[in-house]
Amino acid sequence: MQSAETFPEIREAVRRLCAGFPGEYWREKDRDRAYPAEFVQALTESGFLSVLIPEAYGGSGLGLGAAIAVLEEVHRSGCNGGASHAQMYTMGTLLKHGSEAQKQAYLPRIASGELRLQAFGVTEPGAGTDTTRITTFARRDGDHYVVRGQKIWISRAEHSDLMVLLCRTTAREEAARPSEGMSVLLVDMREAVGNGLTIRPIRTMLNHATTELFFDDLRVPVENLIGKEGQGFRYILDGMNAERILIAAECIGDARFFIDRASAYAREREVFGRPIGQNQGVQFPIARAHVQTSAADLMVRHAADMFDAGEPCGTEANMAKMLASEASWFAADTCVQVHGGFGFAEEYDIERKFRETRLYQVAPISTNLILSHVGNHVLGLPKSF
């Protein structure tokens, strides 16, 4: 038995929308590493990307419970939310820490889809997961910041009007603590590209529109600082909980896609005069994938409930992301195995989804870093770094 569907009307509407974007649409985009602009446009027009924006700023203010229903269904339908999911949550930094003037200026236009705020610039080649070691620096010059440095793996930068950028405004050595001295700037990509910002796409094993960014004295108006100078790291951590819970929901959707497909094939495919699913060696891994996915799903919903109640949920968001990404990966591997040779055929969409779901054990945070968080912050074990 599966737990009751939350937001059934939203789920049904998402399923209907996704039916217009079948496997062949995604296969073509995947082959060309092209941005699924038509799908993103349809999601935007449906209003599903603004469920986290309060009604006062033009969104539907439904919270993370509704957002996870949207992304789970997108992924269960065989589609992929990676091209646009950040439009849902990147604005959280602005919503929580921006001034009223900034919120009025941007949020209604983000809610309507007129402005795309779906680029989030944190990772740097020299720092990796150790974010306090970022070196992209914003130097104050009159009423502007002048930004120099480099970012890597910044997704959707070419398809975004705005970017939330984390950079240093005080060098690590001069800050009171390593986690201080970083600030968040809202960069207008339309003005920045060609005027101090260069974007270089990175081709990866999945179609993800990810890029490398080079800042060469990019001028950003001081009024685009979000919150207080030097406090940016804390603001970014805040926003990461929503991201991890939403990506966990995508993993649950992927896992259910693989389980649906594997079950259907195992019922139909006959070898040695009986359905392959009659063999316990085939049936049990699919059942195990379902058990693992159901457990992970409960953790995702729990984390989302805590987030919506305004409770601290860093640990739960991390645990949800870890469990869901491992459940989707196990389900993916099982689905390939159940399909035998056909698991490798592009037209079945399984190999594409297999590649896509592998990402989530690395990004937006890798499994080891989650285990380190639990070991240190929850269990009181010594920190390893």
Ligand X SMILES: Cc1cc2nc3c(=O)[nH]c(=O)nc-3n(C[C@H](O)[C@H](O)[C@H](O)COP(=O)(O)OP(=O)(O)OC[C@H]3O[C@@H](n4cnc5c(N)ncnc54)[C@H](O)[C@@H]3O)c2cc1C
Q: Name the site residues for ligand X (rule: CB under 6 A).
A: 120-123, 128-129, 153-155, 204, 208, 210, 359, 362-366, 368-369, 372, 384-385
Rg (CA), the chain: 21
The first and second tokens of residue 256, run together, are 């259910």
Q: How far is the CB of 141 from ligand X (least distance, A)?
A: 25
What distances in angstroms separate CA 5 from CA 181, 183, 384, one per listed residue? 44, 40, 40
Q: Rounded CA gap, 215 and 206, in Å?
A: 26
Selected catalytic residue, list 72, 73, 229, 243 = 243
Strand partners of residue 199: 213
Catalytic, 229? Answer no
Q: How far is the CB of 112 from ligand X (least distance, A)?
A: 23
Beta carbon nearer to ligand X, 69 or 162: 162
φ/ψ of residue 200, rounded to 5: -120, 115
Q: Rounded CA gap, 233 and 242, in Å?
A: 15
Beta carbon nearer to ligand X, 3 or 384: 384
Q: How far is the CB of 278 from ligand X (least distance, A)?
A: 39
Q: How far is the CB of 315 from ligand X (least distance, A)?
A: 17
Q: Rounded CA gap, 353 and 19, in Å?
A: 17
3-state secondary structure (DSSP) of residue 210:
strand
φ/ψ of residue 33, rounded to 5: 50, 45
Residue type, 132: T
Q: Rounded CA gap, 92 and 237, in Å?
A: 11
Beta carbon nearer to ligand X, 168 or 208: 208
Beta carbon nearer to ligand X, 105 or 369: 369
Residue type, 135: T
Beta carbon nearer to ligand X, 158 or 305: 158
Beta carbon nearer to ligand X, 62 or 165: 165
Select the residue whose beta carbon is closest to ligand X and give its number: 128
Distance of CA 99 to the CA centre of its chain: 25
Residue type, 341: G
φ/ψ of residue 126, rounded to 5: -80, -15
Q: How far is the CB of 139 from ligand X (least distance, A)?
A: 21
φ/ψ of residue 144, rounded to 5: -130, 160
| Selection from 199, 178, 188 nearest residue 223 by Cα | 188
Q: How far is the CB of 359 from ligand X (least distance, A)?
A: 6
Would you name the residues annotated as active-site residues?
Answer: 243
